[in-house]
Amino acid sequence: MKKRNIISCGALLIMILFMSCKDNNQKKEVSTTDMPISREMKAELTSPPNVPRSVGRRKAKKLIVNMEILEEEGELTDGVKYVYWTFGGSVPGSFIRTRVGDEVEFTLSNHPDNKLPHNIDLHAVTGPGGGAESSFVAPGHEKTFSFKTLNPGLYVYHCATAPVGMHIANGMYGLILVEPAGGLPQVDKEYYIMQGDFYTKGKNGERGLQPFDMQKAVDENADYVVFNGSVNALTGDNAITAKVGETVRLFVGNGGPNLVSSFHVIGEIFDKVHVEGGDTVNENVQTTLIPAGGAAIVEFRVDVPGTFILVDHSIFRAFNKGALGMLKVEGEEDKRIYSGEIREGIYLPEGPGIQNMPTTDEVVESEIPAKSFDEQMKFGKQTYMQTCFACHQAEGQGIPNAFPPLANSDYLNADVERAIDVVVNGLSGEITVNGEKYNSVMTKQLLSSEDVANVLTYVYNSWGNSGKVVTKEMVEKVKNK
């Protein structure tokens, strides 16, 4: 009898605890939905790679968001123009930062010079079309709707006007962050990065104003895969920065419209990844998958100085289609973490046969020639970043004991015809550059004569070199020997 009473009491206690948890969960849902609004404030919107200030410990508010749609011509890569459709004048669109419980009053304005109607679907919205049904707006008009932010996380927004894929492919996507009550933990640096794939009538690198190609988009055959709307949006002077010892948080989205991103920072390990922008946190992650229409928050501490390369690790996209960025870190070295080179040796597993590289003679001639020195420099830089950057680096400094420097290079400046021949026909065997010996392989480059002239002109007029100008005729002369 006593045993039965003990069991009955235990069952009753479990039932009470279960009901209490259920009531607490219901109260939590109600408190988010009915969270009181303290007052009205205008949202701070930022263009990539910048993000607004953290919400911190502020209370829920009526948050006023005003966003303008602009259709405008921009540069996809050097010499390649494209008409972007944008939220706020940038690709991706303006970053929106909110907190749980905010009542967002959203006004979407379609500039009168635009040619098409648009709308917005915010994945953070609980409601028909994520707001798309309430925001369809013609040029010269604006629409206002409101929504409550119920769930914390990092969410994509995009245009959902038919044909939806075309509007997204032209750059109509961005991120909205809903922070939890009390905000995200503080870090030293935060940046906004979003991948997108672009489809043009011309081939990759074909210059001039390029229209959108619907068939390539349907076939998922992207000409460009880029961060923040263009090939060089996060390289060179546009690189993001940090100092040794700082913590970095990247809000990373993928607008698509088609391709999944394998996001990776070469030389870093993500301490934390908020998977798909939600509550699940993975630790010590090398590469994280971000689906089209999805996002992730990645955090890491930078411990050593240097240039760290951001890529989509579907690697041809990075080095051939543009999905490449840079994080430049300054500060003191720590040899305990990374020593640099300790020794150099010789490794010849296949003897001289290792020098035989497969080649093809297919070369696509550029359809729009450079008409001036400035255009040669511009187009040459584009070719350099696509073809030469990985080995010779952004400032022509090369890689010690592997690839010779192009900056202030005695070997390069001594003989322009030899330099042309190296680019056109490749080079193997030992050479001496600025007093240092190198024994690596440069494969034959599949470049048109004009592209060879442009890239060499760019190199000769950069980094303390001689200032020579190389012409298409000079390249043809070497080719015809």
Which tens digits make up the pLDDT trace of 178-216?
999 999 999 999 999 999 999 999 999 899 999 999 999
Q: Residue 109: give its domain's CATH number.
A: 2.60.40.420
In a domain, 57, yes or no: yes
Quickly list DSSP for 409-455: -HHHHH-HHHHHHHHHH-EES-EEETTEEE--EEPPP---HHHHHHH
Q: Is residue 174 located within the same domain as residue 194?
A: no
In a domain, 347, yes or no: no
Task: Give the angle subtended at the CA of 165 by the CAs of 163 and 166, to the nearest 5°.
Answer: 70
Tens digit of each residue's pLDDT (9 = 90 or more) over 236-253: 899 999 999 999 999 999
The mean per-residue pLDDT over the stretch 88-107 comes to 98
Q: Is residue 163 located within the same domain as residue 44?
A: yes
Stronger pLDDT, 392 or 369, i.e. the higher one: 392
Q: Is residue 382 located within the same domain as residue 406?
A: yes
The share of the chain scoring above pLDDT 70, in percent, equals 87
In a domain, 88, yes or no: yes
Least Cα distance to 74 among 192, 226, 245 occurs for: 226
The mean per-residue pLDDT over the stretch 71-94 comes to 96
Q: Is residue 376 located within the same domain as residue 401?
A: yes
Last residue of a domain, one of 302, 330, 358: 330
In a domain, 358, yes or no: no
Q: Is residue 109 located within the same domain as residue 203?
A: no
In a domain, 267, yes or no: yes
Q: Return the pLDDT at 356.
A: 45
Last residue of a domain, one of 161, 179, 197: 179
The mean per-residue pLDDT over the stretch 62-90 comes to 96
The mean per-residue pLDDT over the stretch 59-69 comes to 97
Domain that holds residue 133: 40-179
Last residue of a domain, one of 113, 146, 179: 179
Q: Is residue 167 located within the same domain as residue 224?
A: no
Are the C-beta atoms of 193 and 239 separated by less than 8 Å? no
Question: Binding site residues, as ranges?
Answer: 118, 123, 158-159, 167, 172, 313
Query: Which one-letter DSSP state was computed for residue 354?
Result: G
Report the distance separating Cα 36 and Cα 255, nearest Å: 33
Q: Return the pLDDT at 162.
A: 95
Q: What is the mean pLDDT of the chain?
A: 88
The mean per-residue pLDDT over the stretch 349-359 comes to 45
Using CA atoms, how far residue 384 sits from 16, 186, 248, 257, 303, in Å, is: 70, 39, 29, 28, 30
In a domain, 348, yes or no: no
Q: Is residue 47 located within the same domain as residue 175?
A: yes
The mean per-residue pLDDT over the stretch 461-474 comes to 94
Q: Is residue 116 located within the same domain as residue 223?
A: no
Question: Binding site residues for Cu cation, as ranges?
Answer: 118, 123, 158-159, 167, 172, 313
Q: Is residue 197 located within the same domain as residue 163?
A: no
The mean per-residue pLDDT over the stretch 107-127 comes to 97
Q: Is residue 60 located within the same domain as residue 162?
A: yes
Asked which of 102-106, 108-112, 389-393, 414-418 is least confident by mean pLDDT, the reply is 389-393
Q: Return the pLDDT at 13.
A: 46
Q: Is residue 144 located within the same domain as residue 210?
A: no
Q: Residue 433: give its domain's CATH number.
A: 1.10.760.10
Report the distance separating Cα 140 and Cα 65, nearest Å: 18
In a domain, 4, yes or no: no
In a domain, 337, yes or no: no
What token pair was written down for 84? 């972007």
Residue 3 has pLDDT above 90, yes or no: no
Q: Is residue 230 located within the same domain as residue 253?
A: yes
For the chain, what is the domain count? Answer: 3
3-state secondary structure of 69: strand
